[in-house]
Amino acid sequence: MSDDRTANPALTRRGFLGGIARGLLGVGVAGVGVAAAGRVRAKDDLWQIDPFKCIQCGNCRTACVLEDSAVKCVHDFAMCGYCDLCTGFFHPEPNRLETGAENQLCPAGAIIRRFVEEPYFEYHIDELLCTGCGICVKGCTDYGNGSLYLQVRQDRCLNCNQCAIAAQCPSDAFMRVPADRPYVVKHLGRQKEGG
Partner 1 sequence: MSSRRRVVLVAMALLAAAVCAADAWAIERFPPPDFYSGHQLPELDQRPLRLPPWMDRVHVAALATGLALSTWFSLRLRSRTAIRWLAVASLVYFGFYLGGCVCPIGSIQNVTLALADADYTLPVSVVFIFALPVVFALLFGRVFCSGVCPLGAIQDLVLIRPLRVPLWLQSVLGLVPFVYLGAAILMAATDSFFIVCRWDPFVGFFRLDGNLPVMILGGVLLIVSTFVGRPYCRFLCPYGALLGLCSRVAWKHVTITPDECVNCRLCEDACPFGAIRPATTEEDA
Site string for partner 1, 117-156 (x = CB under 8 A): x-xx-x-x----------------xxxxxx------xxxx
74 binds ligand SF4 (CB under 6 A): no
Cβ(68)–Cβ(131) under 8 Å? yes
- Among residue numbers 159 through 178, which ones bind ligand SF4 (CB under 6 A)? 159-161, 163-165, 169-171, 173
79 binds partner 1 (CB under 8 A): yes
Cα–Cα distance, 121 to 136 (Å, whole number): 16
183 interacts with, out of partner 1, ligand SF4, none, CB within 5 to 8 A per kind? partner 1
Cα–Cα distance, 43 to 179 (Å, whole number): 7
Q: Which is nearer to partner 1, 18 or 107 (CB)?
A: 18
Site string for partner 1, 81-100 (x = CB under 8 A): xxxxx-x-------------
Smallest distance from ligand SF4 to CB 15, Å: 35
Cα–Cα distance, 119 to 127 (Å, whole number): 26
Q: Which residues contact 144 (CB under 8 A, 6 or more apart)?
A: 80, 81, 83, 86, 87, 88
- Among residue numbers 8 through 37, which ones bind ligand SF4 (CB under 6 A)? none
- Residues forming a β-bridge with 124: 112
* Continuous segment of H or E residues that includes residue 47: strand 45-49
125 binds ligand SF4 (CB under 6 A): yes
Smallest distance from ligand SF4 to CB 167, Å: 9
Answer for which of 6, 16, 32, 170 binds partner 1 (CB under 8 A) is 32
Site string for partner 1, 155-184 (x = CB under 8 A): xxxxxxxx-x--x-----------xx-xx-
Nearest to 89 by CA among 76, 72, 101: 101
Other Cβ atoms less than 10 A from the Cβ of 143: the count is 14
29 interacts with, out of ligand SF4, partner 1, none, CB within 5 to 8 A per kind? partner 1
Nearest to 157 by CA among 149, 165, 168, 167: 165
